[in-house]
Structure 1
């Protein structure tokens, strides 16, 4: 069955994105020099660009959620929270848990294609970062030093101390995962610094 690409264009032309702008321009049927294939390919190119923008926007939301969750985790470990007594402490902890539960209601997932070796590498990286967070509860300074080592290991221009195991695992991840890990480590380091300042107050 032959499908006229102009019917496809007419069908989708009124469609709009969240910004209110048309997803498919209304000019496809006005160029008589374009072949049927060219018209279809131009429509698909345009749609592909919108899909990529959607992925970028969703990734930003995903990263923003991670930052917020990192902040909430940092607050849970603040010594000042433990300094509260009785009802004041209970009220603060309940408030914190409500915010965490509310944040968990936001589900953003940008699927990254990985082969098995990349899945294994990402698992290793996440395990080491999880161990870092556990260390934070016991020794803030040691956790910060370890975080710096991981940061150095994720940068090709760093001259500081590195962890070869972490570096090897990170290099086995996809480019997108490497970027996310670096941002996660940077955010964690910032919160470690903030916690150190608050602890001294």
Structure 2
């Protein structure tokens, strides 16, 4: 039963990720400048279809609750502050953001064979988070890094 519960939680997490990806894709379609290069009828049809899909996507509710201690809550808040700093860096200096993101990712990794710099404060803060949060943090950083 333990394995089935773990599998169910992992599947729910993957579904959350898929929902986020679909939101990004649909929103990028709706706001795309490339729509200006097609006819008005086709453009409106694409926008109507995309909005309809967003509406249907909103009907999907995936609620994976992560149980945290007070200490883990505080650690997650602090990690989010680090990630907010990274997001600001992305807006202002993508080169700096890529380097910072790589450092954060290295801080999340247990692979000590790579000679990459580690942010010890970030690493300590991530370790204070729940295991589920640690996985989500690493995934979030990987997504940010791949977008740079």
- The answer, yes or no, to whether TM exceeds 0.5 is yes
Residue 97 of structure 2 is aligned to residue 143 of structure 1? yes
- The corresponding residue for 1:123 is 77
- The corresponding residue for 1:162 is 118
- Report which of the two has the higher share of helix: 2
| Aligned residues between the structures | 135
1:1-201 aligned within 5 A: 45=1, 50-68=4-22, 88=36, 98=51, 102=55, 105-156=59-110, 157=112, 158-192=114-148
Compute the TM-score of the two structures, normalised by the length of structure 1.
0.54
Q: Which has the larger radius of gyration?
A: 1
Compute the TM-score of the two structures, normalised by the length of structure 2.
0.71
Q: Which has the higher contact order (CA 8 A, sep 6+)?
A: 2
Cα RMSD (Å) of the superposition?
Answer: 3.3
Deviations 1:168-200 (A, max 9, x none): 1100011111111111111211111xxxxxxxx
CA distance in 2 between partners of 1:187 and 1:138 (Å): 18
Is the Cα–Cα contact under 8 Å of residues 26 and 54 in structure 2 kept in the other structure?
Answer: no
- The corresponding residue for 2:40 is none
